[in-house]
């Protein structure tokens, strides 16, 4: 059956166009009920493949409101706000009309994805009913009826049709259909029309055998009622239409809200204009106006006389349950933020006037149980200090105490100091290694679920071998003496090298990279999953693979003595490491050795070894030194960062030793050839695809970024030039102090903090390609396709450029490539943060077992009430606070210009050597931290006696230099 709608519209040219919209209606769409003989299983199959998923005898949670067998039919409101409840195994046999599914898709992509996953789960018995194409349930919009009312009516029509349709079942099989709606008007009309309808809360509370589900109900605010009963703390958010008008006229600014991790009463809003990025400072509870970290907000600038300077005070929200809405106390704290400084320190300051887009996600954290007996309302403290505490209602407080839980925010009324939310899931006991790993993966949005069957189905069938077809467009390089050099225990070996003398006296050098793009074909489920993950994440004891293990540790890994597919970059060089020829080819290699950096170094240094592998390594090492010198002469930066390696107990897997990583010549050797291959490939793909090459750039930092470095060096009588990368590199090289050899490493560590983040971008969407840290005009990532998705795209571009593979539409769509780069940059950033969090957690475990120690440290930064120090022995950074709760305040004098902090007459400058006491503070089980206290210099009322174990051996590691921004 066909219905059609005709309307007229005027074109830009002024002509009148007649438009006919056709809408097909069918009479063979199944109701989805297994017991229904009338439908006979017609209609399209759902994602799970079952055309009749609703059980013939629905059994699940027993409801006191509706004890007889029933199906649930949901409206849009319930689906949008109660998805956590709907995902619970107890909730089964649910009908979702097409009307609702379409509306959810339009309003919330994350909820839509989650409900599609539920529909695909055959154990849940959810069914998507195509009511908009069923001839008995499709309705036209009536005159004067808005779209929302028409959709509500369509949902009620669907419920009526179901109840009429299912009357055909035998009496003992009779099943009712109940409407769940949180829309008051829709419920009233449904009851008037004789439909059984309940709110989600009424129905969930009627499930007598499952009281725990009540905790997971989203808290839907009745704003008008809240305002009548409570004191208004915050001003009202302006509606979206007013915000958009204000942004257009320049009255308001739009940006991303970034909460301050160390000060809950301060945040910045990053405003993105046309080629203009700037920061607006927000200070004070009322000005923050219920914005949450990463929300997109509209801000109004305050008048210049109300502008303030960023606060150097560390301020954490530690109010008790009973003082949670004490706004006067908050105002006292706000006054302590006001910095009396010179005018140059003042920043544009504003207030949040509205929310353009909420960026709420489920948050991990712990319950702060109320002291009131039998209380159901408690505060939840998120693990991420940038997120405000959340008020939830739960009957399980005693059970959940000491557990890591997940909570979702439902809303933030104007009358409440904190947002309201609901309990979602219990992750396990706080402090447990598995639980804490799960928390840090969730908090950093690292996809870590097992690979689905759909993804695994695209893996090659085992046993796998190289076929004649594979060899058609490849060079056979199995005769070459290729070897790999990696960290110990590495199983995902991306790269291998060779070097040999040619008959003409020149050298042939090859970088051979795993041909991952041979196994991951564009657009399939394996490719989509790899693109979503973006990168492999390396934690201290765990690796979250970007691709399934069959590829990462087996078929793609360039292990020794097995034939492997590779993508090779081969140069002919003279003995001065000058490139005479470059070629790229798909290849087959057979690595002759898988070496660690230490093993490769031993071979190079051994006077008794002269085999082919050793000769190849020596040739590579000699060329690498020349390449490195040339790069540094051109202005490449050699920066430093304190990296640590844990030694684990083989039985408990707890860290038993912690030391800074030692870098060998061979680390640098491999790095040089990886850099050279990346630069060579970048140039090739850009020459071929000037508009859609995937490249990597490292922007030059704005001059203000260097202020802290320049001031710190000046305090030690050194002059650091920052006009260019070359000037910075040269002045860092000359910044030596014979009496303080570790000073140069500290300067390089500080210089690293001044840098911008290196990012992926599409060549057709940018003009500045330069990589500042490497002093290279062009750069990309080609050498690690097992662990980085960017490299897979680069492989595909290079393969098309040399005629070894065919192109596909998305590869030459610069807008899609730009979107991909955005996701890759996000995933790389979150992977870095997750890795740091893993190191921090294992460092805590180490000091938990080690006890209290005293160690030498150096001041990295001075704050208004604290110093941030680095302990070289452990590569550990921490804060020594000089103000403590319930203790007399010491005399503090902070000078931002030098910078320095004088505590009770004792001055502290950047790079000063101090001795600190290190211990694990487990008083807050969620935010366990390494607490540092001053031992030396002695400061009256501040320094603690040297009570710990004696200082151990030599604390300054060898000067260690690592490369930035690869």
d(CA 88, CA 103): 22
d(CA 732, CA 743): 10
- Picking from 314, 109, 72, the residue whose alpha carbon sits closest to that of residue 197 is 72
H or E segment at 271? strand 263-272
Query: Looking at residue 554, what DSSP letter applies?
Result: I
Max Cα-Cα span within the chain: 96
Q: 368-377, 849-858, 922-931 — which one is most confidently predicted on average?
A: 849-858
Q: Which residues on adjacent β-strands are paired with residue 651? A: none
Summarize the confidence of residues 634-644 as an average pLDDT.
76
Query: Does residue 737 surpass a pLDDT of 90?
Result: no
Q: How far apart are the first and last CA of the chain?
A: 61
Q: Give pLDDT, residue 822.
A: 94
Return the ∠ at Cα 624 (arms to 620 and 627), rounded to 5°.
140
Q: Give pLDDT, residue 845.
A: 85
Query: Does residue 335 surpass a pLDDT of 70?
Result: no
Summarize the confidence of residues 360-384 as an average pLDDT.
86
Higher confidence at residue 321 or residue 240? Answer: 240
Query: Does residue 954 surpass a pLDDT of 50?
Result: no
pLDDT bin (cut points 50, 70, 90) of residue 962 is very low
Query: Looking at residue 552, what DSSP letter applies?
Result: I
d(CA 575, CA 583): 18
Q: Give pLDDT, residue 216.
A: 87
Give the least confident one: 86-90, 216-220, 542-546.
Answer: 216-220
Name the token pair of 955. Answer: 């604390």
pLDDT mean across residues, the chain: 86
Q: Give pLDDT, residue 534.
A: 96
Q: Give pLDDT, residue 846.
A: 85
SS3 of 429, please? strand
Summarize the confidence of residues 37-65 as an average pLDDT.
66
Judge contact between 962 and 640, C-beta under 8 A. yes
Query: Does residue 123 surpass a pLDDT of 90?
Result: no
Q: Give pLDDT, residue 47.
A: 38
d(CA 849, CA 326): 40
pLDDT bin (cut points 50, 70, 90) of residue 957 is very low
DSSP letters of 83-105? HHHHTSTT--SEEEEHHHHHHHH
Q: Give pLDDT, residue 662.
A: 66
> Alpha carbon 243 to chain centroid distance?
29
Summarize the confidence of residues 328-345 as an average pLDDT.
61
Query: Does residue 15 surpass a pLDDT of 50?
Result: yes
Query: Does residue 722 surpass a pLDDT of 80?
Result: yes
Give the least confident one: 434-448, 847-861, 922-936.
Answer: 922-936
Query: Does residue 951 surpass a pLDDT of 50?
Result: no
H or E segment at 184? helix 184-192
Q: Give pLDDT, residue 929.
A: 80
H or E segment at 328? helix 327-337
d(CA 773, CA 755): 9
Query: Does residue 173 surpass a pLDDT of 90?
Result: no
d(CA 732, CA 751): 9
Higher confidence at residue 174 or residue 133? Answer: 133
Peptide bond into 267 cis (omega under 30): no
d(CA 350, CA 299): 6
d(CA 756, CA 765): 19
CA distances from 645 to 631, 659, 719 (A): 29, 6, 33
- Picking from 924, 888, 891, 832, the residue whose alpha carbon sits closest to that of residue 316 is 924
Give the least confident one: 78-82, 340-344, 561-565, 644-648.
Answer: 340-344
d(CA 547, CA 487): 20
Report the percent of the chain where pLDDT is more than 70: 88
d(CA 77, CA 82): 8
Q: Which residues on adjacent β-strands are paired with residue 564? A: 589
Judge contact between 280 and 253, C-beta under 8 A. yes
Summarize the confidence of residues 916-920 as an average pLDDT.
89
d(CA 130, CA 406): 34
Q: 450-454, 563-567, 769-773 — which one is most confidently predicted on average?
A: 563-567
pLDDT bin (cut points 50, 70, 90) of residue 627 is very high
* Strand segments (E) across 824-921: 853-862, 866-871, 876-881, 892-895, 900-903, 906-909, 913-921
Query: Does residue 473 surpass a pLDDT of 80?
Result: yes
Q: Give pLDDT, residue 898.
A: 83
Query: Does residue 7 surpass a pLDDT of 70?
Result: no
- Picking from 958, 873, 959, 862, the residue whose alpha carbon sits closest to that of residue 911 is 862
pLDDT digits (tens, 9 = 90+) for 775-820: 999 999 999 999 999 999 999 999 999 999 999 999 999 999 999 9
Q: Which residues on adjacent β-strands are paired with residue 485? A: 595
176-180's contacts with Cβ under 8 Å and 24+ in sequence apart are: 176/66, 176/68, 176/69, 176/70, 176/71, 177/70, 177/71, 177/72, 177/73, 177/95, 178/66, 178/70, 178/71, 178/72, 178/73, 178/203, 179/73, 179/75, 179/155, 180/72, 180/73, 180/74, 180/75, 180/78
CA distances from 125 to 3, 29, 463 (A): 32, 17, 38
Q: Backbone phi, then psi, for 297, in 5-degree steps?
A: -125, 165
d(CA 68, CA 81): 27
- Picking from 130, 183, 206, the residue whose alpha carbon sits closest to that of residue 161 is 130
Q: Give pLDDT, residue 919.
A: 87
Q: Give pLDDT, residue 311.
A: 76
Q: 135-139, 221-225, 393-397, 474-478 — which one is most confidently predicted on average?
A: 474-478
- Residue 748 contacts by C-beta under 8 Å, 6 or more apart in sequence? 638, 639, 640, 732, 961
pLDDT digits (tens, 9 = 90+) for 489-530: 888 999 999 999 999 999 999 999 999 999 999 999 999 999
> What is the dihedral sign for C-alpha 470, 475, 480, 486?
negative
3-state helix vs strand vs coil in the chain, percent to 5: 30, 25, 40
Q: Which residue has the tokens 């694990």?
A: 920
H or E segment at 24? strand 16-24
Alpha-carbon torsion angle 730, 733, 734, 739, nearest 10: 160
pLDDT bin (cut points 50, 70, 90) of residue 179 is very high
Query: Does residue 960 surpass a pLDDT of 60?
Result: no
Q: Give pLDDT, residue 963.
A: 40
Q: Give pLDDT, residue 171.
A: 64
pLDDT bin (cut points 50, 70, 90) of residue 49 is very low
Query: Does residue 4 surpass a pLDDT of 50?
Result: yes
Q: Which residue has the tokens 């290849």?
A: 587
Higher confidence at residue 565 or residue 841? Answer: 565
Query: Does residue 59 surpass a pLDDT of 80?
Result: no
Query: Does residue 342 surpass a pLDDT of 90?
Result: no
Summarize the confidence of residues 194-200 as an average pLDDT.
93
Peptide bond into 433 cis (omega under 30): no
Q: Give pLDDT, residue 203.
A: 93
Q: Give pLDDT, residue 691.
A: 94
Q: Give pLDDT, residue 965.
A: 44
Return the ∠ at Cα 115 (arms to 110 and 118), rounded to 5°.
135
Query: Looking at residue 912, what DSSP letter applies?
Result: -
- Picking from 584, 576, 622, 615, the residue whose alpha carbon sits closest to that of residue 805 is 584
pTM, 2 dp:
0.81
Name the token pair of 14. Answer: 């002024």
Summarize the confidence of residues 672-683 as an average pLDDT.
96
CA distances from 227 to 287, 414, 962 (A): 19, 7, 57
pLDDT digits (tens, 9 = 90+) for 656-671: 666 566 667 888 999 9
Name the token pair of 233. Answer: 């703390």
- Residue 246 contacts by C-beta under 8 Å, 6 or more apart in sequence? 238, 252, 298, 300, 353
């Amino acid at each position: 059956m066909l219905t059609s709608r005709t309307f007229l519209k005027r074109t830009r040219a002024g002509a009148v166009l007649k438009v006919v919209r056709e809408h097909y209606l069918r009479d063979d769409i199944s109701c989805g009920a297994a017991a229904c003989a009338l439908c006979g299983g017609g209609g399209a199959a759902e994602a799970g493949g079952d055309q009749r998923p609703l059980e013939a005898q629905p059994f699940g949670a027993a409801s006191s409101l509706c004890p007889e067998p029933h199906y649930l039919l949901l409206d849009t409101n319930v689906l949008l706000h109660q998805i956590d409840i709907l995902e619970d195994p107890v909730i089964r046999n649910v009908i979702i009309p097409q009307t609702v599914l379409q509306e959810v898709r339009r309003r919330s992509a994350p909820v839509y994805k989650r409900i599609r996953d539920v529909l695909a789960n055959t154990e849940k018995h959810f069914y998507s009913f195509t009511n908009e194409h069923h001839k008995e349930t499709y309705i036209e919009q009536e005159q004067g009826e808005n779209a929302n009312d028409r959709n509500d009516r369509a949902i009620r029509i669907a419920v009526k049709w179901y109840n009429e349709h299912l009357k055909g079942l035998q009496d003992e099989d009779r099943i009712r259909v109940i409407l769940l709606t949180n829309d008051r008007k829709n419920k009233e009309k449904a009851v008037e029309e004789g439909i059984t309808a309940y709110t989600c809360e009424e129905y969930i509370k009627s499930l007598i055998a499952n009281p725990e589900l009540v905790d997971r109900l989203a808290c839907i605010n009745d704003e008008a009622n809240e305002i009548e009963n409570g004191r208004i703390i915050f001003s009202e958010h302006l509606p979206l239409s007013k915000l958009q008008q204000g942004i257009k006229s320049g009255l308001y600014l739009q940006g991303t809200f970034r909460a301050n991790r160390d000060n809950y009463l301060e945040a910045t809003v990053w405003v993105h204009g046309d080629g203009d990025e700037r920061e607006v400072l927000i200070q004070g509870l009322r000005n923050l106006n219920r914005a949450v970290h990463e929300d997109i907000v509209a801000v109004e600038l305050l008048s210049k006389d109300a502008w303030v300077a960023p606060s150097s005070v560390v301020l954490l929200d530690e109010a008790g349950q009973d003082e949670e809405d004490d706004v006067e106390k908050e105002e006292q704290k706000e006054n302590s933020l006001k910095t009396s400084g010179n005018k140059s320190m003042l920043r544009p300051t504003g207030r949040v006037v509205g929310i353009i887009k909420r960026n709420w996600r489920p948050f991990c954290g712990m319950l702060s149980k109320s002291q009131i007996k039998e209380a159901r309302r408690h505060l939840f403290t998120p693990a991420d200090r940038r997120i405000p505490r959340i008020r939830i209602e739960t009957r399980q407080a005693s059970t959940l105490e000491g557990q890591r839980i997940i909570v979702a925010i439902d809303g933030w009324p104007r009358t409440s100091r904190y947002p309201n939310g609901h309990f979602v899931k219990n992750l396990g006991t706080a402090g447990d290694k598995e639980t804490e790993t799960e928390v840090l993966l969730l908090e950093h949005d690292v996809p870590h679920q097992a690979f689905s069957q759909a993804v695994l189905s695209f893996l090659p069938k085992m046993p796998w071998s190289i076929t004649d077809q594979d060899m058609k467009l490849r060079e056979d390089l199995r005769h070459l003496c290729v070897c790999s050099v990696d960290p110990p225990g590495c199983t995902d070996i991306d790269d291998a090298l060779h070097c040999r003398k040619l008959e003409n006296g020149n050298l042939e050098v090859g970088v051979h990279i795993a041909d991952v793009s041979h196994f991951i074909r564009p657009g399939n489920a394996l490719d989509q999953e790899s693109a979503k993950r973006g990168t492999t994440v390396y934690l201290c004891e765990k690796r979250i693979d970007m691709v399934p293990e069959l590829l990462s540790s087996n078929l793609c890994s360039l292990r020794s003595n097995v034939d492997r597919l590779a993508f090779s970059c081969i140069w002919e060089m003279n003995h001065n490491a000058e490139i005479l020829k470059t070629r790229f080819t798909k290849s087959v290699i057979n690595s002759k050795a898988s070496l660690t950096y230490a093993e490769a170094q031993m071979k190079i240094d051994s006077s008794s070894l002269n085999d082919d592998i050793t000769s190849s390594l020596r040739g590579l090492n000699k060329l690498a030194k020349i390449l490195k010198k040339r790069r540094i002469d051109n202005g490449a930066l050699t920066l430093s960062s304190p990296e640590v390696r844990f030694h684990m107990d083989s039985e408990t897997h707890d860290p038993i030793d912690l030391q800074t990583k030692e870098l060998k010549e061979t680390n640098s050797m491999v790095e040089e050839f990886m850099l050279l291959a990346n630069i060579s490939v970048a140039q090739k793909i850009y020459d071929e695809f000037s508009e859609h090459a995937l490249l990597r750039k490292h922007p030059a930092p704005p001059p203000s970024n260097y202020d802290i470095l320049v001031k710190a060096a000046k305090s030690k009588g050194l002059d650091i030039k920052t006009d260019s990368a070359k000037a910075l590199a040269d002045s860092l090289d000359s910044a030596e102090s014979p009496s303080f050899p570790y000073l140069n490493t500290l300067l390089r560590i500080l210089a690293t903090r001044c840098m911008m983040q290196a990012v992926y971008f599409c060549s057709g969407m940018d003009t500045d390609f330069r990589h500042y840290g490497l002093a290279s005009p062009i750069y990309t990532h080609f050498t690690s396709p097992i662990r980085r998705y960017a490299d897979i795209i680069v492989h595909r571009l290079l393969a098309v450029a040399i005629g070894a593979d065919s192109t596909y539409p998305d590869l030459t769509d610069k807008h899609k490539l730009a979107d991909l780069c955005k996701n890759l940059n996000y995933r790389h950033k979150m992977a870095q943060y997750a890795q740091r969090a893993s190191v921090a957690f294992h460092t805590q475990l180490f000091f938990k077992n080690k006890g209290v120690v005293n160690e030498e440290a150096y001041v990295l930064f001075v704050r208004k009430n604290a110093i941030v120090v680095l302990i070289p022995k452990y590569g550990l950074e921490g804060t020594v606070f000089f103000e403590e709760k319930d203790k007399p305040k010491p005399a503090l004098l902070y000078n931002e210009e030098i910078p320095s902090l004088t505590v009770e007459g004792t001055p502290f400058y950047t790079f000063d050597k101090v001795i600190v006491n290190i211990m694990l503070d487990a008083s807050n089980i969620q935010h366990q931290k390494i607490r540092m206290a001053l031992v030396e210099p002695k400061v009256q009322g501040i320094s603690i006696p040297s009570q710990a174990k004696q200082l151990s051996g030599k604390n300054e590691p060898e000067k260690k230099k690592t490369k930035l921004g690869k």
